[in-house]
Structure 1
């Protein structure tokens, strides 16, 4: 199982810190889970314009491949002007919806006010719903008060929510894989019975 953590911004540090903290928590509790951190700051991504994936730049193709091939996701975003940044929306636009279908998504976000957590409810969850992805019930929202002057997470409640989210996304993914394996086994048994 491969968990891809995406820091969906090209500015600021807090989003990446949140994503990395959840990935570290997953690795501590579930060492069998492969994790990968994808920081959009490290790439020059072209705008989605409908061309085939092979026609995009190497950086853009790399993003498409990494996201499409992951088994489940932790998606991090800052909240700017009451919304997600364009670079993250562009990544969603570049990926074919079938590549997100029936995969688990967890969300972390950070913003300047306490109210911006609603962006997760009002924007990110509906996007995941469009993709027919499974969304973890918990999510993590942080603001500047949850970090110290060195951008370290110091709020114990936030750390607890990070642990809960890490557990939920992995356990949901495990249950989903288990259900899919059972379903495939049942289909094979039905075919076997029909063949008799």
Structure 2
């Protein structure tokens, strides 16, 4: 099984820190999971305009391929002005919805106000629903105060929630795969 953690921004580093922390917790579970980290900051993505995948630049094709090959997802997003950033939305637009169908998706997000957690509920979860993903019941929202000046997580409650999310992702994926093998999900 392949877990793809996506840092869905080209700005800042807190989102990547959150995603990596969850991926590290999955690694500690020794769950026999291949883990890959995709930081959109390292790619020159072209905007989705409906052309065939082969007509996009190499970076865009590589991101589409990585997302398409994953079995489950951890999506990280900063919250800017009460919404997800364009690069993350662009990834959802570039990849065919069928790629995500019946796969587990979990979320981490960070922002400067405590109310921004609502973006997970009101934007990210509905996108996952449209894509027919199974959404992990827990998600992690981090406020700027949960990090020190080096962007290291310093809040123990946040670290506990990260650990819980990592466990849920694996448990959900295994349960769904077991059901698929028995012919219950097609």
**Shorter-normalised TM-score: what interval?**
over 0.9
C-alpha deviations, 1:34-70, integer Å up to 9, x for none? 1000000000000000001111100000000000110
Once structures 1 and 2 are overlaid, which stretch shifts more, 142-151 or 5-14? Answer: 142-151
CA distance in 2, matches of 1:120, 1:54: 32
Task: Please say if residues 113 and 143 of structure 2, whose CA atoms lie closer than 8 Å, have aligned partners that are also in contact.
Answer: yes
Offset of 1:31 from its aligned partner?
A: 4.3
Question: Which stretch has the larger CA shift, 2-11 or 31-40?
Answer: 31-40
Query: In the alignment, does 2:21 pair up with 1:29?
Result: no
Q: Which residue in the other structure is 1:145 paired with?
A: 145
- 2:115 paired residue number: 115
Number of the residue aligned with 1:178:
178
For 2:90, the equivalent position in structure 1 comes to 90
Q: Distance in 2 between matches of 1:27 and 1:65?
A: 23
- For the pair 1:42 / 2:42, whether they are aligned, the reply is yes
Determine the structure 1 residue equivalent to 2:134: 134
Which structure has greater helix proportion? 1
Between stretches 3-12 and 31-40, larger displacement belongs to 31-40
Query: TM-score, normalised on structure 1?
Result: 0.93
After TM superposition, give the deviation of residue 30 of structure 1 in Å: 2.6
Deviation at 1:149, TM superposition (A): 1.4
2:71 is the alignment partner of 1:71:
yes
CA-based RMSD of the aligned residues comes to 1.1
> Paired residues, what number?
185
User: Aligned partners of 1:51, 1:74: CA distance in 2, in Å?
Assistant: 27
Mapped partners of 2:103, 2:95: distance in 1: 13
1:106 equivalenced with 2:100 (yes/no): no
- State the TM-score, normalized to the length of structure 2: 0.98
Partners of 2:30 and 2:79 in 1: CA distance: 29
Which stretches in structure 1 are left out of the alignment for 5+ residues? Answer: 188-196
In structure 2, the residue matched to 1:190 is none
How far, CA to CA, are the matches of 1:54 and 1:174 in structure 2? 33
Which contiguous aligned blocks of 4+ residues in structure 1 show a shift greater than 3 angstroms? none
Using the alignment, how far apart are the partners of 1:69 and 1:54 within structure 2? Answer: 16
Query: In structure 2, what is the Cα distance between the partners aligned to 1:83 and 1:170?
Result: 28
Q: Is the 8 A contact 2:67 2:95 kept in 1?
A: yes
Contact 2:14/2:110, CA 8 A, preserved across alignment: yes
